[in-house]
Structure 1
Amino acid sequence: MFRNLTSALQQTVAGTCALVSTTKCVQVQHRWEYEALHGTSTFPCNAAAPRKLRRACLRKKIWRPTKGADVGDVLNMIQEQGGVRTTNGPTPAPSLLPVHSWQHHRWDHGGGLTADRIADLLDTRGPFVGVLWVCPWYTLFDSAEDRDLVYRSGCARDEMHQFLSVDCFGENNLGLHSVVCFGYRVCDGELHVLILDNHKPTGPERWIHFSELEEVFTISVKLMNPPIHQGQGGRPIRYPQSRHETD
């Protein structure tokens, strides 16, 4: 199960994967909710690069360039700010995409993150933000180049092996990373999750083994009413895209 996911936002500031992936996920949640009612390609909004979110998180000590940020803290800040900011659109286009609620799921808490649980969350609550452990070979995986390649770190959900991998490869080459999870497939009885990364305007998209997900954050939004895709005189509203974040 997977649907097209469009977001040109790209991580260009070190340590901001949680901010960028959360921003992208909120935009896509709003788009899917809106287009389910009004039709494909009717949602006009584009999320802005999270510059103001980053500064707010820095002030509150939620985000640090060397350590990044916790996705839950970022979602709380987005709610505090009223939503994800959009690029400038013509009146009556909204300037914020609100987050109604969110929920945290960990592999070792509650019902865990089994293959069945992840597939169910993607079917009923997806897309969502996922956090996984990345190793030096992670960047070699790109579904556009080879859809059969599936990323495995070799130390997923294992703090001791993760600690040893840092000792082996260095802390600059691996660590926890936040992405948008939006689809899955079952191959030979194993669940593979399709993710959208933040390193290029196209993602890239990668397939990962479901067990790589340490935690996920499901996000709920409310349908934006009244219809916002028709501007004055019935002309379609279109927002500019925001691709990059600069200091």
Structure 2
Amino acid sequence: MMLAFILLPLGRMFGQQSPAMLATVAAMPDVQGAITLSLEVAMASAVIAAVFGTPLAYLLARSQFRGRALIEAIVDLPLAVPHTVAGIALLFVFGRNGPIGKIAGQLGISFWGTALGILVGMLFVSIPYMVNSAREGFASVDLRLEKAARTLGASPAQVFWQISLPLALRGILSGVVLTYARAIAEFGAVIVLAYYPETAPVKIYELFLSGGLQQSSAAAVLLLSVTLTTFIFFRYLAYGRAARKGRNQ
């Protein structure tokens, strides 16, 4: 029943599309640009989340310290904040009058109505997926392996790069995939912080308001076709290759 609940609306939407309408919408330059922008910025968000989220995940998985539960709650906070609220909150920091927005403005950098604003919105709502998945990956690594490496003379950095990180790689890659998928689907925070340039979800919403269900659903099918293809590919990298490596070992 749950699978049907997920697949039925998507399958119905795909089945209702006509090749002529799909071709018409696919030929629209603004739709092509919106999908490309979403893919590029979502990938950038996933990379940034991996670079900065992985060390935090390792700290949460391996260290016991006062305030750890509070940090975990803060990491999960974007999951509980409505995304339009997140966009408004981000405006107070990255908007023209925000502390970071003012400093960036003096350097000729703007978050309002730019790809950087889209990046900030995507990153804010998707970072919990990266940190939580990577944390689970590090938590699954046997501590005895790390301790054995230390007794053999390995430094903490060597243990991390040669033991912990490779063994937690599946969880990290899973976090990258989930972060990418969540970022590319973001609408609420992005539309508040940077309506233009339009990402694919924003463009689909605009088509729904101006052109009705036919054009918007055709654009949605195009976006889903692209994102599902990349999502399946990244999941294969994260799960398929890791599973084969585990069997070989």
Report the TM-score when normalising by structure 1. Answer: 0.25
Structure with greater Cα Rg: 2
The structure with the greater share of residues assigned to helix is 2
Which structure would you say has the larger RCO, counting Cα contacts within 8 Å and 6 or more residues apart?
1
Higher strand share: 1
